[in-house]
Chains A and B, each alone.
Chain A
Amino acid sequence: MSFIDSFKQNFIEADRWKYLTSGLANTMIITFFAVILGMVLGFIVAIVRCTYLKTGKMKIGNALCRIYLTVIRGTPVVVQLLIIYFVVFASVNISKTVVAVIAFGINSGAYVAEIVRGGIMSIDNGQMEAGRSLGLNYSRTMGLIIMPQALRTVLPALANECIVLLKETSVAGYIALNDLTKGGDQIRSQTFSPFLPLIAVAVIYLVIVMFLSFLVNKLERRLSANDRR
């Protein structure tokens, strides 16, 4: 079978390209909301951990965060996804996309937390002291002086975490969710020709990741240019 015939069979006939487009849409939706959830969770956890490390307060919060980090970073994301779908939400009628957002968001949050914590701890303690010596309280010093500086240093790492998350959502098919990977696989199971659909999926991921990496690079260059001022 020629390439053109194979292309037609895999993508044109029976509108099979729609598996890819709707899959891609799902992948993007899941990634987008999981990134938001992950950032929110990650920042909260990082701030709790840093507050404990710097002031000794929030002991219980810190303990909870450590359990969260250990469990999430110590188990595969697929297992977490399956547990959340088949155990946590077993008896609840809930959209698979929402389940995926929750699972990937919780997973990403743990990695974001450690990135942000590293950023906050990298800021010289003198900054906190200077803020406090002027009479600013802990949270204002954190918000106005520490966080803006920490954020700048971790921004590229956070952007990379988004890219990683995009690729990790490819296991969403485990809960029969039609994401991009699953879409390609469905075409394969119908046409029995694995090459084109799977390569197409890979190329789509690659193009998106290359585009995002390009943006991250630009961002990094802009930040380091600002540092020289």
Chain B
Amino acid sequence: MIDVKGLKKSFGEIEVLKGIDEHISKGEKVVIIGPSGSGKSTFLRCLNLMEKPTAGEILFDGQDITKLKEKDIDGVRQRMGMVFQHFNLFPHLTIKKNITLAPVTLGLMSKEEANEKAEELLKRVGLPDKANEYPAMLSGGQKQRIAIARALAMNPEVMLFDEPTSALDPEMVGEVLELMKQLADDGMTMVVVTHEMGFAKEVASRVMFMAEGYVMEQNTPEEFFANPKSPRLKEFLSRVLV
């Protein structure tokens, strides 16, 4: 589904991604972990061209999206949902409007269809009574669940999660991870950057370790955590799995 070839990304002088070759198949749940500054968020953000790669190709269903025009990139992004660390809900719109804005504006659904979809999604994320409230009235965990619902409203083929629980109070992490687990069980293709090792163990079909701009090691979660091979990963795991 997504093929990454020789992906490099520099910010000015600093090379953050130093050449990544990766394949993500339909239905996979790829969890990316690694120390901060390792390039994992940048890698994720390159997948929907939030960051423009400096070199390399990203093939989405066989099409190199790095060569696309701005207009066609918008089309690709409609098929990839993204969830941010800081939720980025639209504070001037009600929850329902947050969810329906994109599909209605882009002409993918009529207003009625979108509203129905929004209600269904709100039920799915467990917040059916919040439709007419504003984001400011929600807790962090609720906001992130709405952000997930907003992305799902576009019926995406892939969901990209950029540290979705890092900005949450500890007691709210669970509800978001639980929702992501459901999403995974429903067969959604997911790429998740996170520090939640428990989530990686339980949900991932593949765990990827990034450091210094490379994918250093990857494996099934069982193997990954039980038998880390590179010294860099061993050191990292020893620090996070106390």
Contacts and interface: CB of A to CB of B under 8 A. Distances in A.
Interface residues of B, number: 31
B225 interface: no
A135 B109 CA distance: 14
Contact of A229 (B80, B137, B147): B137
B127 interface: no
A149 B92 contact: yes
Nearest to A140: B105
A127 B137 CA distance: 18
**Which residue, of A129, A149, A229, has the highest number of chain B Cβ atoms within 10 A?**
A129
B86 to A, nearest CB: 5
Given A133-B82, A144-B105, A126 B50 contact: no
A137 B88 contact: no
Contact of A137 (B74, B90, B147, B150): B74
A131 B88 CA distance: 9
Given A133-B48, A133-B82, A145 B134 contact: no
A137 B134 contact: no
Contacts of B150: 134
Given A229-B134, A229-B137, A135 B154 contact: yes
B197 interface: no
A136 B84 contact: no
A2 B230 CA distance: 101
A136 B88 contact: no
8 contacts: A133-B77, A134-B78, A134-B102, A134-B150, A137-B71, A138-B70, A229-B134, A229-B137
Interface of A: 124, 126-127, 129-138, 140, 144-145, 148-149, 152, 227, 229
Interface of B: 48, 50, 70-71, 74-82, 84, 86, 88-92, 101-102, 105-106, 134, 136-137, 147, 150-151, 154
